[in-house]
Amino acid sequence: MLAIDLSGRLALVTGASGQLGRVIARTLATAGADIAVHYLTNREQADTVCADIRSLGRRAAAVQADVGDQESVEAMQRTVAEQLGEPDIVVCNAVSQYRWTTVLEQEVADYESQFRSCVMQNVLMAKAFAPAMIARGWGRFVATSTECAMQNAPNQSAYVSGKRGMDGVLRVLAKELGPNGITVNQVAPGWTISERHRASGTERSESYERNVPLRRRGEDFDIANAVAFFASDLAGFITGVFLPVSGGTVMPAI
């Protein structure tokens, strides 16, 4: 039986104090990886995630950074190296929040914020962490995208612009890092059920589900499992992929 085994690997997950990020971090730890738990402001939640990971017998450390700021990311790289070592796996999952509205009403600052959190996060994380992967001849970059990048629905312009810009950067990065044994892939969730939905009893949405071929919303662990696959040796010959994990709501075509 095939199994995802990340034993001996170190993963850095950005936004790991958030709803999806902490499930990704725990899933990678369950597969055997040690985890650098990134957070921006919520140190308490990051420490809780670290405690969960250590209870699985893995190493963990909480690391703070603004992933859209070069000096901050470089400082985080030094901290991770000192506390845990150089990551084999980088998961770019951090997001920035804003009010969704029409192009004509959207604040310019919202586009700039999405550019930093989507495009620049991946650029800066690659600059900080790819050199050590190149030296080892092995590495994994996995980024969280969204089905919205294909849907282009009203009120999504700031988010879509950031994610589509991220897509271009990561496809180029996949070609540039491929000769060094490093893969670069994207996981694109649909509207995903997380802890807050379970706590509030809002898991179901018939209006959304009727447009999903599998007739349900995805779960956070569905996304985390796809990330774990991309991080593993099972995906060693897969790179440059945009993988919807959305129950078929969006389907890239050839």
Backbone torsions φ then ψ of 66, nearest 5 degrees: -95, 110
Contact yes or no for 192/222 (Cβ under 8 A): yes
In a domain, 73, yes or no: yes
Residue 159: active-site member? yes
* pLDDT digit string, tens, across residues 131-145: 999 999 999 999 999
- Report if residue 198 sits inside a domain: yes
Residue 48 lies in a domain: yes
Residue 217 structural domain: 10-245
Q: How many helices and strands, by DSSP H and E, does the chain display?
A: 10, 9
Q: Do 228 and 25 meet the contact criterion of CB atoms below 8 Å apart?
A: no
The structure's pTM equals 0.96
As beta bridge partners, residue 28 has: none
Position 252 in a domain: no
Residue from 39, 111, 159, 208 carrying the catalytic annotation:
159
In a domain, 3, yes or no: no
**pLDDT, tens digit (0-9, with 9 covering 90-100), for 71-127:** 999 999 999 999 999 999 999 999 998 899 999 999 999 999 999 999 999 999 999
Residue 1 has pLDDT above 80, yes or no: no
Task: Tell me the CATH number at 158.
Answer: 3.40.50.720
> What secondary structure does DSSP assign to 159-171, as a single string?
HHHHHHHHHHHHH
Asked if the structure places residue 254 within a domain, the reply is no
Question: Helix, strand, coil: what percent of the chain each, to 5?
Answer: 50, 15, 35
Tally of domains within the chain: 1
Residue 88: inside a domain: yes
In a domain, 54, yes or no: yes
SS3 140: strand
